[in-house]
Every structure is written in C-alpha cells, then in structure tokens.
Amino acid sequence: MSKLKLLTIAVIGLLILNFSVLGFLFLHQPPHPERRDDVGNGPKNIIIQKLNFDEKQIADYQILIDEHQTKLKSLRDQVRDTKQLLYKQLNTNNITYSNELENKLGILQTEIEQTHYQHFLQIKKLCKPNQLKNYQELTQELSQLFNQNQPPK
C-alpha cells in the first residue's frame, strides 16, 4: 500500500471519527436541570407561600417589591458608575481619589444591605398576627433563599 493511499485512508477515518463525535455531542445533550416554579419570580412566590398572604397582602407586597427594586437599581447604578471611576484611576497616581471611591463603594454596599433589611421589616408589617410565626421561620431561611443561584458547596 502506498503512503498516499494510507494517508488518504487515515484522513477519511479521522473525518468520520470527528463527525461521529460531533453528532454524538449534538444528539445526546445532557438533560436540563428541572425548573422550579418559583425561579421565574425569584423569592417572591416562596415568601407569599410561606407567609400565606391573602390577595390584598399580595398586592401590597407587589408594591413593596416594585419600590425595593427601584431603589436597588439606583444603588446598583451608582455602584457601577463608581467602579468605572475607580478603575479609571488605575492609570493615574491619585491614591486619595481612589480611596474616596473605595469608601463610597463601601457606603453604597451598606445602603444596599440596609435597603434589603428595611424591605423585610416592611414585609413584617404586612403580616397579620397569625402569620408572624411563619415570618420568624422565613427569616431563618433568608440566606439560603437569596443564594439560590450560587452552586452548592
């Protein structure tokens, strides 16, 4: 068998192997993880369910959510803008201004956390006396509730 014939057979064999592997990868995709019903609305549905909110409470809660998201968007925009200014300082030697920007980022992060905290105090005010026990249980689960998107440890 000549070298050219052997090389041709090897190339054709490798092409068939490559197409087989690609076909296998496209046709045998792993199944997608199950979608939970509450993922689309984040923790909203979980909170409504755990606290057994009635229709009026749900409507009031939606207003709280809208206000909360508006405030958070504003704060996150400020964080983004401040970070942009901070990273522009990498090309300068103005350490004082960089320190001011870092301090501002810390203050903004504190405001974000205070906003979350106040939001849950407002949710507590929506609760009826018979729902307060459920609210206390919910507060014990808050860290897991808001870290759903992070991979398990």
Domain-located, residue 117: yes
Contact 108, 75 (CB under 8 A): yes
Q: What is the CATH number of the domain that holds 64?
A: 1.20.120
Calculate the CA dihedral of residues 73, 75, 76, 80 and round it to 10 degrees.
Answer: 130
| Same domain, residue pair 8 and 70 | no
Domain-located, residue 46: yes
CA distance 145 to 43: 7
CA distance 5 to 12: 11
| pLDDT confidence of residue 153 | 42
How many domains, the chain? 2
| pLDDT confidence of residue 34 | 53
| pLDDT confidence of residue 94 | 80
| Same domain, residue pair 4 and 71 | no
| Same domain, residue pair 23 and 45 | no
Domain-located, residue 152: no
Domain-located, residue 66: yes
| Same domain, residue pair 11 and 55 | no
Domain-located, residue 69: yes
**Positions of the chain with pLDDT lower than 70, given as ranges:** 30-42, 146-153
| Same domain, residue pair 52 and 99 | yes
| Same domain, residue pair 72 and 131 | yes
| pLDDT confidence of residue 67 | 96
How confident is the model over 103-115, as pLDDT tens digits? 999 999 999 999 9
User: Does the predicted model carry a pTM greater than 0.75?
Assistant: no
| Same domain, residue pair 4 and 65 | no
CA distance 118 to 72: 12
| Same domain, residue pair 59 and 130 | yes
| pLDDT confidence of residue 39 | 47
| pLDDT confidence of residue 97 | 87
| pLDDT confidence of residue 119 | 95
| Same domain, residue pair 56 and 122 | yes
What is the number of H-type helices and E-type strands within the chain?
A: 5, 0
Domain-located, residue 122: yes
* Domain extent for 24: 1-30
Domain-located, residue 124: yes
| Same domain, residue pair 45 and 23 | no
